[in-house]
Amino acid sequence: MKKIFVTGGAGYIGSHVVKALGEAGYQVLVYDNLSTGNRWAVLHGDLVVGELSDRQLLSNTLRDFQPDAVMHFAAFIEVAESVSNPLKYYRNNTLNALQLLEVLQELNIGRFIFSSTAAVYGTPEEIPVAETAPLEPINPYGASKMMSERLLADLTLALPEDFRYVALRYFNVAGADSGGRIGQAYKNPTHLITRALKTARGQYPALQLFGTDYPTEDGTCIRDYIHVDDLAEAHLVALRHLLNGGQSDIFNCGYGHGYSVREVIEVAKKVSGVDFTVIEADRREGDPAALTAKSDKIVSELDWKPRHDDLEYIVRTAWEWEQKVDAKLSD
């Protein structure tokens, strides 16, 4: 039984990957400070509550567990906050990643999967965007992830036989576990689908629609939404790649096409059965008109087979989770 160490495994994406790892028969140890994650979200394995900045605890935990691979999800992810408080993001997302890699090198742990983001591309000139596109992040969140990717690339060049990694660049992750056990549980969510569904439930008086004058068919931004379970499966195929001797690489995680904000809102209204209020607002600074993934590489090279490329399914699983999340958060 292969052993996998997962930082941030109590959070939204990390917990879905832990679920998939457990169901696939891996032995899992989660390391999370529970700042945004939840104990109840860890469905498999054990949980160690700790900070990545606590080098002694991190080193002792890894030395005792001796994992075959590490998956690193622990990071701050709010773009607006990264702009107002950039040092917080560089300290947590980049410096803590550096410390984790130093500990792994000391312990000769050499297989690593990194949770990256499409934000490393900034505002790409060509859509859909390929992994070879220039990295030009336009906010500290994207820059902090780009810096971590550079750490990984340089470490691999220095230790080509001892260290290999896969970085997965996520597009817009949404939806929830089809069994209704876990899902997004942020106290102040910024994701469109979650905000729309919470508005449908009456938790917000209205949903703001930022920008209606983009050069798209209906004037609103287009994004590539990927179901969180398909993203979890992408991590498993990346893990198998590394454990089977595969080389370091980077892959986009998206479906290769997108939906506009208006289209998402209409599906949210249909699924929820609520015609909630939408208020049109000015564009947000830095939002590209369209951002979709060129995702054929992970399909062809890692044999990734997404099963939930359906916006209504994505929204429906998120809506079913919304009926349960308040009770979970009050546990």
Q: Which residues have a catalytic role annotated?
A: 141
DSSP SS3 for 329: helix
Q: Do 203 and 277 form a contact (C-beta atoms < 8 A)?
A: no
CA dist., res. 95 & res. 99, Å (int): 6
Phi, psi of 213 (to 5 degrees): -120, 25
CA dist., res. 58 & res. 5, Å (int): 11
75: which 2 tokens?
A: 């990071």
Residue 293 DSSP symbol:
B
Residue 328 DSSP symbol:
H
CA dist., res. 331 & res. 328, Å (int): 5
Residue 284 DSSP symbol:
P
Show the DSSP H helices in 185-247 as ranges.
192-200, 228-243
Cα-to-chain-centroid distance, residue 71: 12
Q: Do 203 and 276 form a contact (C-beta atoms < 8 A)?
A: no
Measured between alpha carbons, how far is residue 106 from residues 48, 93, 164 in Å?
20, 20, 15
